[in-house]
Structures are given as structure tokens and as C-alpha cells.
């Protein structure tokens, strides 16, 4: 364990400098940045939801600059076509051949801005890229660069021109983080830093992609006690059968619980949380810290829950209250 702790400290040496560099541009929103780092450390896609103007796009673009890797931003609009995302075949009149022109999805970090404004065919093309790490152009399949990560932003569903994402695609996001308004102190700092015509701070590259890949191996090696593993499984099972775990008040409110993919995601995200904290082992607090972001978008609520204005996030909080902590 001592040797593993030394490896964690060595491999995580870039974390604080990265946070400091991002903090020169982004005020507050520490939780959002940590969730993005968890995505980097686990290879899991991250969905950020919040009203416009909360620095979601700024956070992703700044983090991409701090990590020296290929970055593409794709603005999702109702008229976007799958070819605009993955690429297409271009006819060359000179020799009568078709050649592949790859789209912007061929990058290490893809910012899918306002992802819930695009039509279903575009979402289907992105789903293949997210799940299989490959895209199909014509009759051929092309692998995407490694590492490959989709960092998406989304406006609340009730805003004009937005559409719910397919459940299969939402499930492919390891985390869904709800971004809130900054505190009064942070808002005052934002005013003093950003309310000027001068250009903002130019973000420096702090870490190379190779360091992140190396850190992923350490994340996989972190110790998870069997009791913590059982706790993770119980949390997920409680979203499917809440009454069995003592939450009878949730009867009739859950249409479907989290899938086994949620169990895998919760374990990985808990490991990454421990890594960011510099520890070689996972605690129940690591699981509880990240559980809402892993589970909230994987729970379907019934019409009764909608009528009573019970959201999936409230169901997750109730589940965390009834499941015994080891």
C-alpha cells in the first residue's frame, strides 16, 4: 500500500498545477472541473447541464488547452448532418475515385456544444463514436484517436429548441453534472476579472496525453475493499428495487433503475476521485461524492413522479439515505 501511495503521488503531480492553470481563467466551479478530470482519468464521457452563461463551454475549452492534445469544438444545431460530424466521401473528378474526408470527431477531445439541439441521425452517428471509439464512413470503419473523450454541454430540456437525448446515448455518458450559479463572492471575482476588453489569460499546456494514459493505469490499481464494492452494487440495485432497501416511499416513482453500466462507471469514478485526493484506496465517501453524477441520468421516472415533481436526482438522494454505508 505504501508503494502504491508513492506511485499515486508521483503520477498525480500534474493535477494541482492543472487545476491552478484552469483556475486562472475559470472562477469557482471546482466541482465541474473535478468531474471533467474524472472523465479524463477514466476515459468516460461527461455531460454538463445548465442554463447558458455558466462557463460550461469555457471550462471544457480551457481544460483542453491545458492538456496538450487535439481538440475540436462542434456546435450542434438542428440543421447539422452526420457528415458534418464524422466526415464523408468526396468524389475526385481527375481519377474518378472517392476519398475520405474525415470530420471534426477525429480528435482527442471533442466538445459537443449544446448537444441536445441536433437531430436524431446526428445523435446516432455520435453514439457509435462514443461507444465503439470508431465511425463508419461509406462502407468502411475508421478508429478514432486515443485517448478519445466527448465533453458535451446541454441546456435544460424545457428551453426552446432543445430535445431530450436518446436514453441509449445518455447512458453512454459516465457522468452528468448539473452546473449551478456561482456564489456572490465568485460572481464578484468574475466581474473584476472578465468585465474588460483586454484578452483573457492564455492557457498553457500543463500535461501531455501520455501522462493521463499513465495515470489511468494507477487508477485501475487503486484498492477497493470488498465492503465498498458491495456498497456500490447495493446503491445501483436500490435504484431498481427501492422498497427492498427500505425506501417504500419511492414505490411507483421509478420506471427503470440504473443499468450494470452504472455499476462499472460508479466504481471507476470512485477510483478516480480517490486518485485526485492522492489516496491509494477508495472510501465510501468517494462513492457518495460521485454517485449523484453517475446515477441521476440513468434513472427513469414514472408519470406519477413527474406529476409529483420528483426528479431522478431526488430519487438518488433518497437511495443514498436508505442504503447502509460500510
Closest listed residue to residue 33, CA positions, set 24, 43, 44, 23: 23
d(CA 326, CA 119): 45
Confidence of residue 263 (pLDDT cuts 50, 70, 90): very high
pLDDT score, position 229 = 94
d(CA 57, CA 104): 17
d(CA 29, CA 246): 35
Q: Are 115 and 154 in contact (CB under 8 A)?
A: yes
Model confidence pLDDT, tens digit, residues 220-246? 889 999 999 999 999 999 998 888 888
pLDDT score, position 199 = 67
CATH of domain 223-322: 1.10.8.80
d(CA 56, CA 36): 11
pLDDT score, position 159 = 56
What average pLDDT is seen over the chain?
Answer: 85
Q: Are 206 and 67 in contact (CB under 8 A)?
A: yes
Mean pLDDT of the 270-296 span: 92
Looking up cell 472541473, which residue turns up? 33
Helix axis angle, 260-276 relative to 226-240, nearest 10°?
A: 140
Closest listed residue to residue 47, CA positions, set 12, 77, 18, 76: 76
Task: Determine if residue 17 is left, alpha or beta; phi over 0 gives left, psi from -120 to 50 gives alpha, anything else beta.
Answer: alpha
Looking up cell 457518495, which residue turns up? 288
Cα dihedral 149/153/156/160 (nearest 10):
-120
What are the residue ranges of CATH 3.40.50.300 in the chain? 10-198+205-212
In the chain, the largest separation of any two C-alpha atoms, in whole Å, equals 71
pLDDT at 283 over 70: yes
Confidence of residue 20 (pLDDT cuts 50, 70, 90): confident
Q: Which three cell numbers stand for residue 299?
A: 434513472
What are the residue ranges of CATH 1.10.8.80 in the chain? 223-322
Confidence of residue 148 (pLDDT cuts 50, 70, 90): confident
More confident residue, 94 or 111: 111
- Across the chain, the runs of DSSP E, i.e. the strands, are 45-49, 71-75, 87-92, 97-102, 109-113, 134-137, 140-143, 149-154, 173-178, 254-256, 300-301
Phi, psi of 120 (to 5 degrees): -65, -40
| Model pTM score | 0.86
Burial of residue 55 (number of CB atoms within 10 Å: 0-12, 13-18, 19+)? buried
pLDDT score, position 82 = 86
Domain 10-198+205-212 has CATH 1.10.760.10: no
Amino acid at each position: 500500500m505504501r508503494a502504491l501511495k508513492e506511485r499515486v503521488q508521483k503520477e498525480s503531480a500534474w493535477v494541482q498545477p492543472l487545476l491552478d492553470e484552469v483556475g486562472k481563467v475559470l472562477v469557482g466551479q471546482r466541482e465541474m472541473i473535478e468531474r471533467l478530470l474524472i472523465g479524463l482519468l477514466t476515459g468516460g464521457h461527461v455531460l454538463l447541464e445548465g442554463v447558458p452563461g455558466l462557463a460550461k463551454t469555457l471550462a471544457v475549452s480551457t481544460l483542453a488547452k491545458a492538456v496538450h492534445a487535439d481538440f475540436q469544438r462542434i456546435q450542434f444545431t438542428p440543421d447539422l448532418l452526420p457528415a458534418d460530424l464524422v466526415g464523408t466521401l468526396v468524389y475526385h473528378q481527375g481519377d474518378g475515385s472517392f476519398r475520405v474526408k474525415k470530420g471534426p470527431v477525429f480528435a482527442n477531445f471533442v466538445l459537443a456544444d449544446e448537444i441536445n439541439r441536433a437531430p436524431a441521425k446526428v445523435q446516432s452517428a455520435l453514439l457509435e463514436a462514443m461507444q465503439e471509439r470508431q465511425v463508419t464512413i461509406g462502407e468502411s470503419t475508421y478508429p478514432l484517436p486515443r485517448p478519445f473523450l466527448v465533453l458535451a454541454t446541454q441546456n435544460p430540456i424545457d428551453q426552446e429548441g432543445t430535445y431530450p437525448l436518446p436514453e441509449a446515448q445518455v447512458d453512454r455518458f459516465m457522468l452528468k453534472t448539473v452546473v449551478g450559479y456561482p456564489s456572490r463572492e465568485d460572481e464578484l471575482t468574475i466581474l473584476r476579472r472578465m468585465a474588460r476588453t483586454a484578452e483573457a489569460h492564455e492557457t498553457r499546456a500543463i500535461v501531455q496525453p501520455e501522462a493521463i494514459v499513465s495515470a489511468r493505469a494507477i487508477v485501475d490499481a487503486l484498492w477497493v475493499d470488498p465492503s465498498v464494492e458491495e456498497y456500490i452494487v447495493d446503491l445501483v440495485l436500490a435504484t431498481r428495487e427501492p422498497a427492498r432497501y427500505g425506501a417504500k416511499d419511492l414505490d411507483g416513482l421509478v420506471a427503470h433503475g440504473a443499468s450494470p453500466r452504472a455499476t462499472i462507471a460508479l466504481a471507476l469514478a470512485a477510483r478516480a476521485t480517490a486518485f485526485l485526493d492522492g489516496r491509494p484506496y477508495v472510501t465510501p465517501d468517494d462513492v457518495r461524492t460521485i454517485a449523484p453524477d453517475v446515477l441521476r441520468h440513468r434513472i427513469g421516472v414514472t408519470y406519477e413522479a413527474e406529476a409529483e415533481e420528483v426528479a431522478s436526482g431526488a430519487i438518488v438522494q433518497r437511495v443514498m439515505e436508505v442504503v447502509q454505508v460500510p
